[in-house]
């Protein structure tokens, strides 16, 4: 239903104990309950968390028809814990003893202190009963109580519609669109949210056909010439590059399209890079990182991250890719992606499909993906309401 949180890789949510909240006396008598995170997935107190995880999988299946976008429960538990950079709360509603709806409120702690990322999902069977409205109202009140004046969210849509056809709601960017007759879209509009941007989900059948990467690399390589080295590592950035990686990762919040979504620039340092690396590892993710290094200056000019989990051996996710503004126009985005794809094919031959996410107006990165063989697999509408 409505609403899922925006999709950058480092955004995670968590809940702690909070008082139960009764519905409005004039509305159906559903009860909102807080989710309490257990110490581990096999601990005695993990029952509600495991059921919440099953509900999350069921909601993903209703939208996408598969569990490609579902994280393993161990990864969820680890990534939902509070840390220095984020805090969140999860809630659920039961009917006849069964969890049928969920919500979450994510609060950035390092910057964007005016923002809350809200999420409300209701199983299709139980929509139309006021549960979603009650959960959204509760989430918005929670955010307001923490002085968050900008609410951000998203709706997800499988690629079963023409984003350029009739009956499409266009975002403020004017690029892409979501189906205007979608229940989730109608819900968001009725709640006062504005569609600010559309994100395209894309999928690549893997491995790519023989010779394709060679041809793309030969075309891109001469442009880079002798000015750049390509380097790679797994999981942990070498100490000698950690400060430069922090600079590049901070630019993901300033140098990539965000439409009219209101974000503060993120401040990254070596500690924050190590924190994210640790979180990836503890969540069971293996991260292949490739970078381009500018030979004359020695600075890192571009990077790309490709992630794999043994829990889903058929799948990999293309995460952040960024080329610093001063080094654009040298085909570095293509080259760092190709390096990661070659490593993935050699080291993880079980992978059959790669997913990635790009702003619909990010024509340059989408063109790289199309050249590699990615095809549209779905869309996400990025919504905002400012107080």
Residues 215 and 132 reside in one and the same domain: no
Domain-embedded: residue 173: no
> 70 lies in a domain?
yes
214 with 139, same domain: the answer is no
Q: What is the rounded distance in angstroms from the CA atom of residue 177 to the CA atom of residue 82?
A: 34
φ, ψ dihedrals at 253, nearest 5°:
-90, -5
Q: Is 331 inside any structural domain?
A: yes
The model's confidence at residue 19, banded by pLDDT at 50, 70 and 90, is very low
Residue 221 shares a structural domain with residue 129: no
Indicate if 242 and 134 belong to the same structural domain: no
Among the residue ranges 106-110, 219-223, 307-311, 316-320, the one predicted with the least confidence is 219-223
User: Do the beta carbons of residue 337 and residue 321 sit within 8 Å?
Assistant: yes
Q: Do 140 and 221 sit in the same domain of this protein? A: no
Asked if 31 and 106 sit in the same domain, the reply is: yes
Task: Return the number of other C-beta atoms located less than 10 Å from residue 299's C-beta.
Answer: 16
- Asked, for residue 376, whether it belongs to a domain, the answer is no
Question: What is the three-class DSSP state of 188?
Answer: helix
DSSP per-residue codes, 210-231: TTHHHHHHHHHHHHHTTSEEEE
CATH number of the domain encompassing residue 337: 3.40.630.30
Q: Provide the residue range defining the domain that includes 321.
A: 207-351
Find the farthest-apart pair of alpha carbons in the chain and give their distance in angstroms, rounded.
71
Say what the pLDDT of residue 3 is: 47
| pLDDT in the model for residue 26 | 47
Does the pLDDT at position 229 exceed 90?
A: yes
In a domain, 126, yes or no: yes
Q: Are the CB atoms for 92 and 20 separated by under 8 Å?
A: no
Domain for residue 71, yes or no? yes
Residues 143, 223, single domain; the answer is no
Number of domains in the chain: 2
Mean per-residue pLDDT for 183-192? 97
pLDDT tens, position by position, 322-372: 999 999 999 999 999 999 999 999 999 999 999 999 999 999 999 999 999
Instruction: Give this prediction's pTM.
Output: 0.89
Half-sphere exposure of 298 (CA within 13 A, CB side): 3
Is residue 5 a part of any domain in this protein? no
β 194-205/353-359 pair status: antiparallel
Domain end call among 126, 148, 170: 148
Give yes or no: residues 224 and 122 share one domain: no
Q: Which of 218, 219, 241, 221 is nearest to 231 (CA)?
A: 241
Residue at 236 is within a domain: yes
Per-residue three-class SS string for 94-163: EECCEEEEEEEEEEECCCCCCEEEEEEEECHHHCCCCHHHHHHHHHHHHHHHCCCCEEEEEEEEECCCCC
In this predicted structure, the answer to whether residue 304 has a pLDDT above a threshold of 60 is: yes
Boundary (domain end) residue, out of 148, 167, 195: 148
């Amino acid at each position: 239903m409505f609403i899922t949180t925006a999709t950058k890789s480092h955004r995670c949510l968590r809940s702690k104990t909070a008082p139960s909240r009764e519905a409005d006396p004039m509305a159906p008598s559903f009860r909102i309950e807080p989710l309490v995170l257990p110490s581990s997935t096999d601990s005695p107190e993990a029952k509600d968390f495991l059921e919440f995880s099953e509900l999350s999988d069921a909601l993903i299946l209703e939208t996408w028809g598969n569990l490609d976008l579902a994280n393993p429960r161990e990864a969820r538990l680890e990534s939902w814990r509070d840390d220095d950079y984020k805090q969140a709360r999860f809630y659920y509603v039961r009917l006849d003893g069964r969890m049928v709806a969920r919500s979450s409120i994510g609060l950035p702690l390092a910057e964007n202190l005016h923002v809350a990322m809200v999420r409300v999902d209701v199983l299709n069977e139980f929509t139309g009963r006021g549960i979603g409205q009650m959960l959204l109202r509760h989430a918005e009140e929670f955010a307001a109580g923490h002085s968050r004046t900008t609410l951000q969210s998203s709706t997800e849509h499988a690629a079963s519609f023409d984003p350029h056809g009739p009956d499409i709601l266009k975002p403020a960017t004017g690029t892409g669109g979501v189906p205007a007759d979608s229940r989730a879209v109608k819900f968001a509009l009725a709640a006062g949210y504005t569609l600010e941007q559309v994100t395209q989900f894309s999928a690549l059948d893997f491995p790519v056909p023989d010779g394709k990467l060679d041809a793309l690399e030969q075309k891109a390589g001469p442009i880079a010439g002798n000015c750049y080295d390509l380097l790679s590592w797994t999981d942990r950035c070498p100490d000698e590059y950690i400060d430069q990686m922090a600079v590049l990762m901070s630019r993901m919040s300033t140098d990539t399209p965000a439409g009219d979504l209101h974000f503060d620039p993120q401040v990254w340092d070596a500690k924050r890079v190590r924190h994210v690396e640790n979180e990836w590892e503890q969540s069971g993710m293996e991260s292949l990182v490739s970078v381009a290094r500018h030979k004359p200056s020695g600075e890192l000019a571009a990077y790309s991250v490709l992630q794999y989990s043994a829990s889903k051996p058929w799948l990999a996710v293309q995460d952040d890719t960024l080329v610093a503004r001063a080094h654009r126009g040298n085909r570095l985005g293509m080259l760092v992606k190709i390096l990661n794809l070659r490593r993935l094919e050699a080291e993880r031959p079980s992978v059959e499909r790669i997913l990635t996410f790009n702003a619909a107006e990010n024509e340059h990165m989408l063109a790289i993906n199309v050249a590699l063989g990615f095809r549209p697999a779905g869309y996400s509408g990025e919504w905002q309401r400012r107080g």
